[in-house]
Amino acid sequence: MKPSKTSKQWMREHINDPFVQQAQKDGYRSRAAYKLIEINEKDHLIKPGMVIVDLGATPGGWCQVAGAIMGETGKVIALDLLPLEPLRGVEFIQGDFRDEAVLKKLEESLQGKPVGLVISDMAPNFSGVSAVDQDRSIYLAELAMEFAFDHLTRDGSFLVKVFQGTGFEAYMKLMRTKFTRVVARKPKASRDRSSEVYLLGTGKLE
């Protein structure tokens, strides 16, 4: 099949993207790594010895950053439907995080340790129909928040990608009922034309 004009344009933009080029130089698996790096530098989320769960981790940019910052201390557990090439210091569980069998594996992996941070850079497979895609993205974000609230220790933090549009304000309002502080972040590595924004909830409420 001949590549479409849109896909050619995306590929050209991707190849010329300075963050893509920098990721290749720095050995990061995706340009998304710089989003977490910038947010962490500002908000100091990742702390030595903590347990971090990365939802929708593949290809591994975020858990790669988290693992490198923590070094030999703490634990990073990554979950995704797709396989993940092994990363040092990262334990990977393949499957749907809503699945009971996957959750059981997670509980076993935690070994009773509390989760201090849940991160989610998930996005749905886009259909091209904006209303449908927005609904899907909000639904994923809702599932991620539910997971975070169920597993985070008191005062734990939650970082999630959300697309601005229908349902965004309602999502943020709900998040404010679950965390002491909720702020929006738009890191430099997030393309200007993208409606994505990262919501950070700190201080999980009882």
User: Is 116 marked as binding a ligand?
Assistant: no
Give the end-to-end CA distance of the chain in Å, rounded to a whole number.
53
95 within 8 A of 81, measured Cβ to Cβ: yes
Given 8, 75, 104, 161, the catalytic residue: 161
Which residue is it, tokens 């965004």? 168
Which residue is it, tokens 């059981």? 104
User: Is 10 marked as binding a ligand?
Assistant: no
Q: Is 42 labeled as catalytic in the residue annotation?
A: no
User: Is 96 marked as binding a ligand?
Assistant: yes
| DSSP codes of every residue in 70-85 | HTTSSEEEEEESS---
User: Is 80 marked as binding a ligand?
Assistant: yes
Q: Is the dihedral of CA 159, 162, 166, 169 positive or negative?
A: positive
Cβ-proximal residues to 61 (8 Å cutoff; 6+ apart), any chain: 23, 28, 29, 30, 31, 32, 33, 36, 121
User: Is 121 marked as binding a ligand?
Assistant: yes
Distance CA 58, CA 63 (A): 9
Binding residues for S-adenosyl-L-methionine: 60, 62, 80, 96, 121
Catalytic residue ranges: 161
